[in-house]
Amino acid sequence: MKRIRFVEEEIARRYDENKMRCPIHLCVGQEGVAAAVGLALRPDDLAVSGHRAHGHYLGKGGSLSAMLAEIYGKATGCARGRGGSMHLVDESVGFMGSTAIVAGTVPVGVGLAYGIKLKRTHQVSCVFLGDAATEAGVFFESVNFAVLKRLPVIFICENNLYSVCSPLRVRQPEGRRIHEMVGALGLPATAGDGNDALEVLDRVTEALAAIRAGGGPRFLEFSTYRWREHCGPSYDNDTGYRSEAEFLEWKAREPIGALASLLLSRGDLSGEQIRQMDAEIAREVNAAFAFAESSPYPDPASAYALLYAEPVSVDDGGH
């Protein structure tokens, strides 16, 4: 969680230098879900995400340096500098893609799960999505197919209450709970506190075990809150679509502080250990920025080269 928080705060601090020339959607305040899901997944599990993907990529084991180089548009980036912040992809850690099209990777993640089932590899495909993605038609088609085929896919929905500036109350009927609506499609669907990283870890660990045992897909909704504006490095509580009071309420129970207090009170971690961790992560983040800034831009002649053209052979068992 701290690694995600530190790197995003540093991205925000440096964004106005105009060297990162892509839009950025920061997940500061939402680190609990990304970190805990990443920890619960196996390294060989697969994951897809959307526009707010930094935390998901790092949680899955992605490289800080490759992520920052990607955001700086450099050849050493995880998408070779072609994608930027919203198009992180890194097969080496099973992070199979993220796109700016809301819900665009939901069918991709379900397709990956279909491949896993056909190949009988016992991996799980993890689909990260926001609350607004559950309003897209393709979301329902994809979940229906996953249920029909009992696919090994876990849907992780970060419900941060907003789609850009539109709160849930102007988008969905009063009283609707997203997980209840999704549960009606025929899969176990639950809700939990996304700012309690240990709760997320427990729920996701249990769901993954059930999926790996052949139980079919699961949908987990986690409530959380983004601190900064939808897109960009600033705060936007003065723009009128949400209140400073709401922001402060969520900030008071943010995921990192909550876990640190718990671990300190149990004696599981000392203040000195936390300071050491902070110093180590700050060093790591600074080194990753230095790597990104000093890396070369891609050769324009390579713009149309195929990056991932390996043919995949599938034993589909006659299906």
Ligand X SMILES: Cc1ncc(C[n+]2csc(CCOP(=O)(O)OP(=O)(O)O)c2C)c(N)n1
- Residues near ligand X (CB under 6 A), total: 14
Residue number with the smallest Cβ distance to Mg ion: 130
Q: Considering CB distances under 5 to 8 angstroms, the limit depending on partner class, which of Mg ion, ligand X, none binds residue 26?
A: none
Q: Does 165 bind ligand X (CB under 6 A)?
A: no
Q: Does 100 bind ligand X (CB under 6 A)?
A: yes
**Which of Mg ion, ligand X, none binds 52 (CB below 5-8 Å, type-dependent)?**
ligand X
* Contact track, ligand X, 227-256, x by CB under 6 A: ---x--------------------------
Sign of CA dihedral 21, 27, 29, 32: negative
Helix (H) and strand (E) counts for the chain?
11, 8
The residue range among 70-78, 90-98, 156-164, 195-203 that interacts with ligand X, by the rule CB under 6 A, is 156-164
Contacted entry of Mg ion, ligand X, none for residue 100, CB cut-off 5 to 8 Å set by kind: ligand X
Closest to ligand X by CB, 100 vs 258, is: 100
> At its nearest, how many Å lie between ligand X and the CB of residue 130?
2
155 versus 162: smaller Cβ distance to Mg ion: 162
132 is a site residue for ligand X (CB under 6 A):
yes
Answer yes or no whether residue 162 interacts with ligand X by CB under 6 A: yes
Identify the three-state secondary structure at position 300: helix
Residue 101 interacting entry, from ligand X, Mg ion, none, C-beta within 5 to 8 Å by type: ligand X
Q: How far apart are CB 273 and Mg ion at their closest, in Å?
A: 34
Nearer to ligand X among residue 52 and residue 203 (C-beta) = 52
Q: Does 11 bind ligand X (CB under 6 A)?
A: no
Q: In this complex, which beta carbon is closest to ligand X, that of residue 100 or of residue 274?
A: 100
**DSSP state, residue 212:** I
From Mg ion, ligand X, none, interface partner of 133 (C-beta below 5 to 8 A by class): ligand X
Query: CA-based angle 69:57:258, to the nearest 5?
Result: 115
Q: End-to-end distance of the chain based on CA atoms, in angstroms? A: 42
Binding site for ligand X (CB under 6 A): 51-52, 100-102, 130-133, 160, 162-164, 230
